[in-house]
Amino acid sequence: MSETKPTNSPISSGRRQLLIGSGVLGAAAALNPGMAFAHWGRGKGRGKGRGRWGRDNPQENAPPVEWTVEQLRTALDQLRNDTFFAMIAFGVPGNDPYSEHQGVSTPYPGGITTRADLYLSGGTDLLVPVPAGFMNQLLASIATYLAVKPMDIPEMASEDVGENGEYLLENLNSSFTDYLEGEVSNSVLVALLINLAATRVAGSVDGPFPSPFANLSWEQKAKVFEELESEHSWLKRAITWNIPDRDYREATPGVLSSMVAFMLRIAGFGSYCEFAVFNPQTREVVQRPLGWVLSQYAPDAPPSGIGSDDFIGYYQGRRSV
Amino acid sequence: MRDVIIIGAGGGGPVVAKELAERGLNVLVLEAGARHAKPEQEWSALENHMNSSLTGKLRFGPADPAKPAWFRELTTPGSFSQVAGVGGTTLHYYGNSPRAMPGVFADYRGRDRGMYDHRHKFPFGYDEMRRYYEWTEATLPVQTAAMGTKEQAFFQAAEAAGLSPITGKDITHAGFRPQENAILQPGGTAGRTSDPSQLNYPNATGCTLCGHCFQGCMLPKGAPRNLKARRSTDNSYTPMALTADLWKPGGKAITLVSDAYVTRILSDRQWGRRMQRATGVEWRDVNTGEVHSEDARVVVMAGGCIENPRLWMNSDLPDPNGWVGRGLTDHALDWVTGIFDHDVGGARGTSCSSRADFPGYGAIQNTANTPGVQANNLTNSDSGIRGTYTNGLGGQGAWDGEAGRLYGTELKEMMSDINRQMSILVLTDADVEYQNKVDVSRVFNDDHGPVARVSIDKRRRSRRTQRNRDYLATRAAEILRAAGARKIVRNDWAPVLLHLQSSMRMGDSARNSVLDENCEARAVQGLFIADNSALPNSLGGPNPTLSTQALATRTAEKIFQHYFGGDAWVGHESPICSIDDAVTQAVLSRGL
């Protein structure tokens, strides 16, 4: 079969780590489980040997898969969604699968029920008008950095994945390169970076979700953000390692900080505001937002209040000074 | 040719506009954002709809919601909380109108004078400023705030913590007090009922205690625009400026153009590059992209602490001492919250009606919060996530545990009953520091040129700024403890760019100020600045709007005297209040 395969460009070790560690390969495999490695998958549970790349597992007889940019876009959008669900569960946990998987949940709903994930992804996309070419430079810089300073994930990135596996990685890389030259949303970029940090923090990130970050425990998620927020994080070094444009290189840490801070903050705002139940025609909520229920705010809403009877008087009767 | 063109209709621009319109000058005001002419038909009391910095009605962005917000680059962690549009950031302010600490003025001789930012004082004395305060307080008007559940709890706690009341407008000693707010106090049914059918004007007048200052004030329903409760400039100075011909003999109504983004200040070079003369402005219609220009004898910049340096640099104006955009102060805001076993009215009543002032350190104030904003506030920090990591910060003190953001179940538990929370905002007397600055981005451009780039690195703040901030957080925690808080958390906020000051500062020295003692640019004749960026320092901590408005009144006088041969009026005439019947009749007859 390998005789009939078209030839792809060889893939560098750094780029390979980027594709695997950021969840691109996992997302692609989640969308089309037959694409590559029959025994590779995100099984339930966290035990060793689940969801690993392995020398014995490549599906040598699988037909070659040509990933189109559009297919990859769909896969990455799903990876983003998965990552953001996990992010919201991290900030405002509830009784959903992401909260339960991270080991911190509550018996009643949390941010995911309010669809704060949608708020978060929409907001991240609008947050910074990233210039064309910026993301490509940024991810290329990370790949270069990883080639020099590889992540400690030998079972995923360094071992032989077989001829067919190698071919599919190369094909995925080619499509990913084409994808990055088009319109890439900030939210996908942020999801890739969070997942890359998750892979670096936890090494092997097996679990039921395509997103490595989503498979972490709550404490591990905190370590991811410790890494992302640190003044001297490896990710900040990696993204500025080899950006050729000096102005881009100088701007990158600030852009990353803004996005990370936004993610952390907006998980709270998005979960407690009226976003999910707002009717723009009436400029009113159609039902009491979950965040208001959780915080016992405005028990009589809707409608929103326009006044209260909280007037007690004036301190010491003083009307003026 | 216009007499005066004013760039920006935020907290300061409309003050100059109204004062000069009252003198009969021909004034054009250009505002980049929206003009919210019919708030009752456009606004709501909802947080995301109104406050989202990306898509909300009150954002820093164009009027058209389909267009993205205007981006500014940040080089260090932080977030912006500013608003474009007629009213500017006063559209979401709480109306708090304290005077500055006397210690930040040139003539201060108090025993604690060494406690202030003594290298960056006002270039004139407090007594001179007082008469402009009085004029502005009478015009807005500023009134002593009423008390509700949370104010009563705060006052009792402050007393229990050993503080005494401040009983005047001047801050003479450390103590607590009701806010002096630019808010009409409740009258009629206002504050006495939550029944919406009972809260229409004129049955209800003034503040209805709805707690939605942050979402913009459009209440009481049915009130004429100048009689809406909160005195944001869209409700106070702008209606006066637009009707000056109707309520003032000899007055002339201003021309207001919204959706007009000024991209260049036009100037004549006079004596080489170091001295120029402003001749007019060029602006871009945000909706059509058309470019316009007009000439004027005087140009007034009032676009705010971030946009003014950007416009200056994009206009290639001279910066001989390197202080354009430098010395930005932000009150180094912080957030301390107590959780109680009983109801302390955390989300009820007015947005902010009580405070405590600490001369030499700054101030703190108790606020009411809606759920999304409160969750946002509790998750803002650059001290990591409490209980997990600290980013090398995470200070400990009178609060419980390490400072940091609340996350996961701790956030959810803290948010489980918003009326059992009492939150205190810390307003630090922050030093003017050269490295805190605004310049222009080398990467990001929009339709109006390179965008502003802001650098305000919290970790490099002066020792005095950090000391003051820690002191105030400690005092806040002590008050919460005295009130009976079961648990107290300090967030240690990453910079929230809301109370911005002094990026184009006035000063007594040509070495470290952009503006002279009249707020005229040292390097550009006929160019004045009349917003927070003109302030010489962070005022000692008090909220900046009133001081900016008083200073803008003084600046209007200087313009009238020096460029139009007029006389000063403050101290010689009586101010006309923005709720005067003559103004109300003018507003109604003009259909505002």
**Partner B contacted by A299 (CB < 8 A):** no
pLDDT confidence of residue A43: 37
Q: Which long-range contacts (CB under 8 A, 24 or more apart) does A2-6 make?
A: A2/A163, A2/A164, A2/A167, A5/A64, A5/A167, A6/A64
Q: What phi and psi values does residue B262 have, to the nearest 5 degrees?
A: -75, 125
Closest Cβ opposite residue A278 in set B48, B155, B374: B48
Lowest mean per-residue pLDDT among A31-35, A99-103, A281-285, A300-304: A31-35
- Name the token pair of B10: 């935020």
Q: Which element (helix H / strand E) includes B80?
A: strand B79-80
Show residues of chain B in contact with A115, CB under 8 Å: none
Show residues of chain A in contact with B374, CB under 8 Å: 272, 295
On whether the CB atoms of residues B154 and B475 are closer than 8 A, the answer is no
Scanning A44-83 for CB atoms below 8 A from B yields none
Instruction: Tokens 């179940």: give the residue.
Output: B409
Quote the CA–CA distance of B416 and A293 in Å, as a whole number: 9
Quote the CA–CA distance of B139 and B145 in Å, as a whole number: 17
pLDDT confidence of residue A58: 43
* Residue B311 CA from chain centroid, whole number: 20
Show residues of chain A in contact with B419, CB under 8 Å: 296-297
Do the Cβ atoms of A269 and B376 come within 8 Å? yes
Q: How far is A82 from chain B (nearest CA, A)?
A: 18
Strands B180-181 and B175-178: unpaired
Q: Which element (helix H / strand E) includes B176?
A: strand B175-178
Show residues of chain A in contact with B146, CB under 8 Å: 311-314
Quote the CA–CA distance of B567 and A211 in Å, as a whole number: 70
Q: How many CB pairs under 8 A join A and B?
A: 256
> Given a cut of 80, is residue A39 above it in pLDDT?
no
Do the Cβ atoms of B391 and A230 come within 8 Å? yes
What is the percent of chain A with per-residue pLDDT over 90, rounded to a whole number? Answer: 52
Quote the CA–CA distance of B459 and B461 in Å, as a whole number: 6
Do the Cβ atoms of B152 and A312 come within 8 Å? yes
Do the Cβ atoms of A312 and B149 come within 8 Å? yes
A46: confidence class by pLDDT, cuts 50, 70, 90: very low
Give residue limits of the domains in chain A. Answer: 2-273, 276-317
**Partner B contacted by A312 (CB < 8 A):** yes
Q: How far is B574 from chain A (nearest CA, A)?
A: 19
Residue of A nearest to B196 (CA): A306
Digits of tens for pLDDT over chain B (592 positions)?
A: 999 999 999 999 999 999 999 999 999 999 999 999 999 999 999 999 999 999 999 999 999 999 999 999 999 999 999 999 999 999 999 999 999 999 999 999 999 999 999 999 999 999 999 999 999 999 999 999 999 999 999 999 999 999 999 999 999 999 999 999 999 999 999 999 999 999 999 999 999 999 999 999 999 999 999 999 999 999 999 999 999 999 999 999 999 999 999 999 999 987 665 689 999 999 999 999 999 999 999 999 999 999 999 999 999 999 999 999 999 999 999 999 999 999 999 999 999 999 999 999 999 999 999 999 999 999 999 999 999 999 999 999 999 999 999 999 999 999 999 999 999 999 999 999 999 999 999 999 999 999 999 999 999 999 999 999 999 999 999 999 999 999 999 999 999 999 999 999 999 999 999 999 999 999 999 999 999 999 999 999 999 999 999 999 999 999 999 999 999 999 999 999 999 999 999 999 999 9
Do the Cβ atoms of A268 and B375 come within 8 Å? yes
Quote the CA–CA distance of A189 and B284 in Å, as a whole number: 33
A234: confidence class by pLDDT, cuts 50, 70, 90: confident
**Partner B contacted by A297 (CB < 8 A):** yes
pLDDT confidence of residue A134: 81
pLDDT confidence of residue B161: 97
Quote the CA–CA distance of B32 and B100 in Å, as a whole number: 29
pLDDT confidence of residue A63: 56
Do the Cβ atoms of B210 and A311 come within 8 Å? no
Among A292, A309, A314, A320, the residue to mutate for chain B (most B Cβ within 10 A): A309
pLDDT confidence of residue B507: 97
A27: confidence class by pLDDT, cuts 50, 70, 90: confident
**Partner B contacted by A103 (CB < 8 A):** no
**Partner B contacted by A291 (CB < 8 A):** yes
A321: confidence class by pLDDT, cuts 50, 70, 90: confident
Quote the CA–CA distance of B435 and A28 in Å, as a whole number: 46
pLDDT confidence of residue A180: 87
Do the Cβ atoms of A274 and B372 come within 8 Å? yes
> Given a cut of 70, is residue A62 above it in pLDDT?
no
Question: Residue A6 burial by CB count (10 A; 0-12/13-18/19+): exposed, middle or buried?
Answer: exposed
pLDDT confidence of residue A44: 36
- Name the token pair of A305: 């209040």
pLDDT confidence of residue A42: 39
Closest Cβ opposite residue A269 in set B219, B375, B444: B375
pLDDT confidence of residue A59: 47
Quote the CA–CA distance of B244 and A17 in Å, as a whole number: 68
Q: Which element (helix H / strand E) includes B144?
A: strand B143-144
pLDDT confidence of residue A237: 87
Q: How far is B560 from chain A (nearest CA, A)?
A: 32
On whether the CB atoms of residues B521 and B293 are closer than 8 A, the answer is no
Instruction: Write down the ipTM of this complex.
Output: 0.95
- Name the token pair of B73: 């680059």
On whether the CB atoms of residues A145 and A236 are closer than 8 A, the answer is no
The single-letter DSSP state of residue B243 is T
Closest Cβ opposite residue B178 in set A92, A226, A315: A315
Do the Cβ atoms of B375 and A309 come within 8 Å? no
Q: How far is A316 from chain B (nearest CA, A)?
A: 10
**Partner B contacted by A319 (CB < 8 A):** yes
Beta bridge partners of B372: none
Average pLDDT, chain A: 84
Do the Cβ atoms of A314 and B178 come within 8 Å? yes
> Given a cut of 50, is residue A48 above it in pLDDT?
no
- Name the token pair of B75: 């080089």
Task: Calculate the dihedral angle through the C-alpha atoms of B469, B470, B475, B476, rounding to the nearest 10 degrees.
Answer: 70
The domains found in chain B, sorted by start residue, are 2-50+86-143+215-328+498-589 (3.50.50.60)
Residue of A nearest to B185 (CA): A319
- Name the token pair of B546: 């009133």
Quote the CA–CA distance of A302 and A306 in Å, as a whole number: 11
A162 by DSSP, 3-state: which?
helix
Quote the CA–CA distance of B260 and B267 in Å, as a whole number: 19
Among B134, B192, B412, the residue to mutate for chain A (most A Cβ within 10 A): B412
